[in-house]
Chain A
Amino acid sequence: MNEEQVLEQEVRRHVLITPWDGLLKLLDPVYNWGRRNSIWPLQFGLACCAIEMICTAASRFDIARFGSELFRASPRQADLMIVSGTVTKKMVPMIVRLYNQMPEPKYVISMGACATAGGPFKEGYNVVSGIDKFLPVDVYIPGCPPTPQALLHALISLQKKIDGQSLTSVRWYRKETDSEIPVPALGPDLLDVRRGQEIKAKCAGLEETKPAVLPTMIPAPLPGNTLLVKAEELLATAKRLKLQPDLAYDYLANLTCTDYQDCYEVVSHLYSTRRPSPPITLKVRARKEDPRVPSLTPVWPGADFQEREVWDLYGVRFDGHPNLKRILMWEGFEGHPMRRDYLEPYYEAPGKIFPSRWKEGRHQRAEERVPWADNVKYPAGFDPAAWRPSAEEFQPVASRTLEKLKTDTLVVNLGPQHPSTHGVFRMRIVVDGERIVALEPVMGYMHRNHEKIGERNTYLMNFPYTDRLDYLCSMSNNLAYAISVEKMMGIKPTERAEYIRVIMAELTRILNHFWAIGFLLNDLGAFFTPALYAIEERELILDLFEMASGSRMMCNYLRFGGVAADLPEEFLPLAAALVNGRLPKAIEQMDRYLTRNEILLNRCRGVGVLPREAAIAYSAAGPVLRASGVKYDLRKADPYSIYDRFDFEIPTFPDGDVYARYRVRIAEMWQSLAILRQALKGLPAGEVQAGKKLWNLRVPAGEAYGRTEGPKGELGFYLVSDGTDHPYRYHVRAPSFINLTALGLMCQGHLVADVVAILGSIDIVLGETDR
């Protein structure tokens, strides 16, 4: 034994030798403790679940208690991506890119049914069947939407998972791991570039598909007050309707299209803001091959986005439209998805109820049924390698010459992932120096095929889907839908139900305006204090909704001819305490806190002005219209439900700027409180459902356009029935969508920082904008 060996033996006897790995393991508790208590989420929301995520960060649930309050707007600083809501095909490339930009260690929580597997919108043509097809997910939360406490529970599970990790085995210290995920592309359908070879091989074997044969109908006889004009006479008729003083149909409320057996019928609903007059429905028909009609934009500029939507979804060309291109889907998408013969990849039957569910209903995922094993389809002979993305077409803006200086304009993209766009909304802004020359909204990142699914649903099934339109105001959406169907069926709800509906609708208006004001201030830079105060009040109203309907956000409370269930006995005392005690104080406080604040005044006055005439011409609705001095509120102008019984004012402000829109909202909250007091006082006893509640009701053939004054503006439903139990045409007139038509006009000449304020003052919700 030499000296060295003896020494080694001695050392082994007296010194505890720990291998390198073991030493690192000793560090694990400290390493994990640090990470688990500082999980910073990415400030990033997709859909309804994002609202619950925001509530989790607000005062009632206070995610700060878990060290996760720092919602980072930049992926470079974030640890956790909470995929909160429906992942659409149009949005998924951005999500993957954001994930790639996050540094390791990074985690993903899939929040809600949609993010996990497509949820209730799974069958839609623009919906990805689960984010785990692209990203590795750590925790899945079931629920639609999961409550804030469920999200906190998931965060705790993630912390537990982190506790179990070890420095020696984590993926981000391994040399061989590369967490970069290939970004999918938007071809004729969503292209997962990892599956390129497989797609090519399968497409080579595909045969040209024949158009599907589906039940269609021929247009019903024209109802009253309807004009059917020839395409070549359309513009002249439109001009006459608008300009002739005794007609004065200056307000185009809704424009959409129906696909009939022998034609496409473009229908528009016209109203007058100047005199109470019965509405006029203007119809024009286009043949099935290469459908074309003249554009109405020269007469009513508010038709702009709506005509683009019809082109996108139905393929009807509008001659004379200044900028006719797709709006909800992307350029290059194969097919016009709302046509009757367009079948989605997961198509199962022309209408629900699917026969595979009952009697021999063995569970099968939609993926297992289709050849691609995913929610995609490609044309025959398609080769991903040969495919080139079509450059996004935008209107060119020429560079300008200022006095002596020739400057180039610069294009700035805001969104779709931006904390101030209120969702996945994008604006393409052309700036000349600091000033905005042109702004074009780009949307569809949350287009989850509400209308296509709605035409397959039975009438009752659409109720919970309407909850998910403007997910802040599910009660008002329920009301608008119920009124439209009741109009066709000719039923009337009971007295008590009418009062309950008004109570719910006005509570919704208050919570929506609180939220809108809170987040407008957020956009202005008053980061979260006003929003937190607003959310506190909203939470208390949500408690009432939950008590009555069972869910905070997705109430699904109204039924045709009534409401789902009578109010629980503890509802009324709490509602009275809110309406008479807490809410007036809170509105007064908000008013004192903000209304005359000098910074707010400087940022909001004279910014984003929408003049009175433009507001009407661009079909602006709700607070946006009334802030431009137009006294037009459907609760008075076209009374529905029992609004004619209540005493209230319509607040208007003449300036048409951001400040006026803020003031209108505060004033409307006071009016809603006045209505609520009267409604709570007058609430009669009795039944809450007229007749028997049916799940399979049939609606007589015909069509109806029902409109209500939602918190964001005119929310209407255009329904065509063929006498069966599901609508032949189901269209939502979405105020968030149509109010955006004037956004470009409002932003011209302002600074980029004003854009977020102007957008905040319009108050959009992307679930409704993109549907």
Chain B
Amino acid sequence: MRIYGLELLRGLSVTLGHFIASYTEGFKRTFANRLRGQVRQDPSERGIFTVQYPEERLRVPERFRVLPVLIFNGKEGEKWTPAAERCTACGICAKVCPPQCIWIVQAKDPASGKPTPKASEFFIDVDVCMNCGLCAEFCPFDAIKMDHTFELGGQERKVSHIFDIDKLHVSTEYYAKTHPKAWAQEEEARRKKAVK
């Protein structure tokens, strides 16, 4: 004869295990130096699994992508200049963009009126962008990259959600900080090309 409820209790032992682990693991965390201040993100993690945002943040991998940014050669805090701009207005990012959220105006030489390989205006409609990263993947000049900033919530959208060329530009220094590995690889490739 089967006793009704035994299997239910057996199942509840799993919940009890989780309950107890949340305390034992918590104690370990309090006293073990090794674990202090570490975000709970490892597959070996047991017990409480919570990342205490905003005090602590989930470590994001380098490839993490939210919105695109434009890169200019310079230091953080500087303002971009057409000379430091990497973008050549070739338009490949606008052409691969699946929801077509990129708008580019090619710069013209003020004296002759001939088009120059620079972008004078560059817009990204954040409300259309699908964060897919194809623009960054296919840019031949390493000029457009995917940023890590995700805390973008705001109370207005009509003006602030159209990113223009000033808002989009970030420095190579910033990019090297957020994407150290990709930066090193790209620099290496550029060096090799220069040697040739």
Contacts and interface: CB of A to CB of B under 8 A. Distances in A.
B126 interface: yes
Contact of A141 (B8, B89, B129, B152): B152
Contact of A695 (B7, B65, B138): B138
Contact of A353 (B94, B129, B137): B94
A548 B130 contact: no
Given A61-B53, A592-B14, A157 B91 contact: no
A61 B50 CA distance: 6
Contact of A550 (B52, B64, B129): B64
A392 to B, nearest CB: 33
Nearest to B60: A546
B127 A130 contact: yes
A76 B187 CA distance: 58
B63 A117 contact: no
A119 B152 contact: no
A540 interface: yes
A354 B100 contact: yes
Interface in A487-522: none
Interface stretch (A19-27, A575-583, A610-618, A619-627): A575-583
Contact of B95 (A62, A123, A353): A353
B128 to A, nearest CB: 6
A219 B166 CA distance: 50
A14 interface: no
Contact of B11 (A113, A582, A597): A597
Contacts of B99: 119-123
B150 to A, nearest CB: 5
Nearest to A588: B14
Contacts of A150: 150-153
B88 interface: no
Contacts of B181: 568
A132 interface: yes
A352 B100 contact: yes
B73 interface: no
Interface in B83-121: 89, 91-92, 94-106, 115, 121
B38 interface: no
A554 B132 contact: yes
Nearest to B106: A359
Interface string A547-564: 111110010100000001
Contacts of B43: 540, 574, 577-578, 581-582
A174 interface: no
Given A362-B121, A592-B14, A149 B96 contact: no
A643 interface: no
A547 B65 CA distance: 10
B155 A457 contact: no
B24 to A, nearest CB: 17
Nearest to B93: A358
B156 A140 contact: yes
A110 B152 CA distance: 12
Contact of B155 (A120, A139, A565, A695): A139
A460 B115 CA distance: 29
A138 B153 CA distance: 10
Contacts of B91: 357-359
A118 B50 contact: no
B8 A598 contact: yes
A113 B100 contact: no
A441 B132 CA distance: 33
A206 interface: no
B168 interface: no
A59 B95 CA distance: 41
B54 A153 contact: yes
A336 B75 CA distance: 55
A569 to B, nearest CB: 9
A154 interface: yes
A594 B12 CA distance: 9
B49 interface: yes
B138 A363 contact: no
Contacts of A117: 125, 127-128, 157, 161
Nearest to B41: A543
A122 B128 contact: yes
Contacts of B98: 120, 352, 457, 461-465
B151 A120 contact: no
A477 interface: no
Interface string A132-173: 100001111111101101101110110001000000000000
B153 to A, nearest CB: 4
A536 interface: yes
A597 B8 contact: yes
B123 interface: yes
A769 interface: no
Contacts of A551: 64-65, 131, 133
A270 B53 CA distance: 52
A547 B61 contact: yes
A119 B49 contact: no
B157 A140 contact: yes
B59 to A, nearest CB: 9
A398 to B, nearest CB: 41
A312 B99 CA distance: 25
Given A119-B99, A596-B7, A153 B63 contact: no
Contacts of B95: 353, 357-358, 695-696
Contacts of B150: 143, 146-147, 149-150, 153
B81 interface: no
B106 to A, nearest CB: 5
A113 B129 contact: yes
Interface string A268-305: 00000000000000000000000000000000000000
A115 B73 CA distance: 36
A140 B162 CA distance: 13
Contacts of A597: 7-8, 11
Contacts of A157: 153-155
B152 A113 contact: no
A152 B155 contact: no
Given A130-B127, A157-B153, A364-B103, 9 more contacts: A141-B152, A143-B131, A157-B155, A358-B103, A461-B97, A462-B98, A464-B134, A568-B63, A594-B11
Interface of B: 4-5, 7-8, 10-11, 14-15, 18, 41, 43-44, 48-54, 57-58, 60-67, 89, 91-92, 94-106, 115, 121, 123, 125-134, 137-138, 146, 150-157, 161-162, 181
10 contacts: A140-B156, A143-B66, A143-B152, A144-B131, A153-B150, A353-B95, A357-B91, A362-B105, A362-B123, A463-B98
6 nearest A-B pairs in the assembled complex, by CB-CB distance: A117-B127, A361-B103, A154-B153, A464-B132, A461-B98, A120-B99
